C-alpha cells in the first residue's frame, strides 16, 4: 500500500518525520474501522442511487471495502502512520486494490464529516453495550435484594448508626441510581443519533447527494441540520463522558461501602476470593482490590470529562485539528466504564452477608431511638417532647452501656408514664423495619415488592 498523502497536491515539501508521527491518529483511531467502512458503503450506495457512481463502480467499492474489513478483523491489515488516520489508510488500501473507482469514494464528503459520523456510529454501538452491562448489574442487585430482603443492616447518616434498614433495601438504592444512569445514557444516545455525513468539510457539497437516504441506511434518525455544527460538534462525546462520570461516581460510592463492609472492623460482608488479592508480605491479608480499583478509575474518567470540556471551550467554528484529541479520552472512558460494570456485575451476586455481625452492629447505635419517639407521638406526646424523652433514655443507656431494648419497663416509664409493654415490640429491630411498610420503605415485604416492580421496568427497557 502506498504511503503517498492523499492531499499532497498543494505541497512542495514532504512532511517533517516528527510532525508526521505527531499529527497521526491511526494508532488509536483504527478501532473506528468497522464504522468507517460501514459509513463508506452507505455513502457509496447513496452516490450510486444518485447517479454519481455507476453500479459497476459501487460493486467494486463494496467488495473492496468488505475485503479490507476482513483483513483488519484478522489482524492482517498493515496500518501506515504516514497515512495519518483510519480513513486515509482504508481509502489508500481500497484504491490500491480496485484502482480509480477507489478514488471516487470520497466524492461529496470530507474527513471532517466522515470522522464525525464514524464516532457517532461507534458511540451508538458502545452505549448499547454499556447499557447491557448496566442491566446485568441491576439484575445482580435484584438477586441479592430478594435474597436479603429481611437481613437487618444498620442504616447510616454521617457514617453513624441512624436507623435499622435491610440489606435488600440498601441494594435497591443502588438499583435506582443505575436506573437513572441508564436513562442518561439512553438520552445521550438519542441526541447523538443524527448524521453529520454530507456536511463535507464545513459547508456541504455541490453534488446532488441524498442525506436522508444515507441516514436511513446507517440507522440515524435524521441528517444534521447545519453543516457547520455537524462537523464541529462534540457535545455528544462530552455528554457521554459526563453520564459515564456520574455512573462511575455511583460505582465509586458502592466500592467504598464494599471496602468498609469487608474490613475486619465491620465484617458485614465477605467478598469472593475471585475478586480479591493477597499481600506479598502479610499472609493473612485479603484485599478488596476490585472495588478499590473501580474507586480509583472514577478519577480517571472524571479527568477525561474535564479534558473534553477544555478541548472544546476555545474552538471557533468549524472543524479544528484539536478535535483529534477527543478520541483517546473517549475510547479510554468507554473501555474502563465497560470493564468496571462487567466486574461489578460478576462480583455482586457472590457477596455473602454476615447477618449476625450486621445485626450486632445495628444494636450498638440506638438505631430504634426514632421508633421510640414515633411511638410516643402516636400516644399523644408532641414530637419535640418525645425527642427530649428519648434523648434522656439514650443518655441512661450510655451510662449503663446497654441498648434501649435492654431497659426495663420501669426505667422507661421513669421518662414518661405513657409508655406500656407494647413499647418492646417497637424497640425490636424487626419491628422497626417492618413498621416502614409503604412504597420506598425498608419493610421486607416492600423490598420484595420493589424488586418485582424493578424487574418489570428492566423487562420494559
Return the active site residues.
158, 279
Q: What is the largest CA-CA distance in the chain?
A: 101
- 121, 39 in Cβ contact below 8 A? yes
Cα distance between residue 215 and residue 218, in whole Å: 5
Q: What are phi and psi of 164, to 5 degrees?
A: -70, 140
Residue 107 preceded by cis peptide, ω within 30: no
Give the CB-side neighbour count of residue 143, counting CA atoms within 13 A. Answer: 14
Sign of the torsion angle spanned by Cα atoms 249, 253, 258, 263: positive
Amino acid at each position: 500500500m502506498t504511503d503517498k498523502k492523499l492531499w499532497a497536491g498543494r505541497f512542495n515539501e514532504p512532511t517533517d518525520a516528527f510532525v508526521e508521527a505527531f499529527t497521526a491518529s491511526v494508532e488509536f483511531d483504527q478501532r473506528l474501522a468497522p464504522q468507517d467502512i460501514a459509513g463508506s458503503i452507505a455513502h457509496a450506495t447513496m452516490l450510486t442511487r444518485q447517479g454519481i457512481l455507476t453500479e459497476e463502480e459501487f460493486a467494486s467499492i463494496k467488495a473492496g471495502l468488505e475485503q479490507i474489513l476482513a483483513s483488519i478483523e484478522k489482524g492482517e491489515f498493515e496500518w501506515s502512520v504516514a497515512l495519518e488516520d483510519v480513513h486515509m489508510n482504508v481509502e489508500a488500501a481500497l484504491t490500491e486494490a480496485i484502482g480509480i473507482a477507489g478514488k471516487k469514494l470520497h466524492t461529496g464528503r470530507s474527513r471532517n464529516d466522515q470522522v464525525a459520523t464514524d464516532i457517532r456510529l461507534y458511540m451508538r454501538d458502545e452505549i448499547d453495550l454499556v447499557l447491557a452491562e448496566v442491566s446485568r448489574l441491576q439484575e445482580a442487585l435484584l438477586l441479592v435484594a430478594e435474597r436479603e430482603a429481611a437481613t437487618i443492616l444498620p442504616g447510616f447518616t454521617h457514617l453513624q448508626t441512624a436507623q435499622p434498614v435491610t440489606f435488600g433495601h440498601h441494594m435497591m438504592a443502588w438499583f435506582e441510581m443505575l436506573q437513572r444512569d441508564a436513562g442518561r445514557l439512553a438520552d445521550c444516545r438519542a441526541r447523538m443519533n443524527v448524521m453529520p455525513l454530507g456536511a463535507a468539510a464545513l459547508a456541504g457539497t455541490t453534488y446532488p447527494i441524498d442525506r436522508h437516504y444515507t441516514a436511513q441506511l446507517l440507522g440515524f434518525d435524521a441528517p444534521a441540520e447545519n453543516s457547520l455544527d455537524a462537523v464541529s460538534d462534540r457535545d455528544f462525546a462530552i455528554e457521554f463522558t459526563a453520564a459515564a462520570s456520574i455512573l462511575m461516581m455511583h460505582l465509586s460510592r458502592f466500592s467504598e461501602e464494599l471496602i468498609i463492609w469487608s474490613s475486619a472492623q465491620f465484617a458485614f460482608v465477605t467478598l469472593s476470593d475471585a475478586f480479591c488479592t493477597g499481600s506479598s508480605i502479610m499472609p493473612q491479608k485479603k484485599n478488596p482490590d476490585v472495588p478499590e480499583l473501580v474507586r480509583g478509575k472514577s478519577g480517571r474518567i472524571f479527568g477525561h470529562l474535564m479534558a473534553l470540556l477544555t478541548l472544546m471551550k476555545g474552538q471557533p467554528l468549524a472543524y479544528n485539528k484539536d478535535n483529534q484529541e477527543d478520541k483517546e479520552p473517549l475510547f479510554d472512558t468507554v473501555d474502563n466504564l465497560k470493564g468496571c460494570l462487567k466486574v461489578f456485575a460478576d462480583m455482586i451476586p457472590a457477596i455473602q452477608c454476615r447477618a449476625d455481625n450486621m445485626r450486632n452492629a445495628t444494636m450498638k447505635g440506638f438505631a430504634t431511638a426514632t421508633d421510640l419517639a414515633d411511638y410516643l407521638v402516636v400516644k399523644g406526646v408532641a414530637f419535640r417532647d418525645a425527642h427530649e424523652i428519648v434523648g434522656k433514655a439514650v443518655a441512661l443507656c450510655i451510662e449503663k452501656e446497654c441498648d434501649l431494648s435492654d431497659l426495663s419497663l420501669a426505667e422507661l416509664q421513669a421518662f414518661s408514664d405513657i409508655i406500656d409493654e407494647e413499647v418492646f415490640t417497637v424497640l425490636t429491630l424487626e419491628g422497626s423495619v417492618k413498621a416502614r411498610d409503604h412504597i420506598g420503605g425498608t419493610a421486607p415485604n416492600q423490598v420484595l415488592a420493589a424488586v418485582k416492580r424493578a424487574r418489570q421496568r428492566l423487562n420494559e427497557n
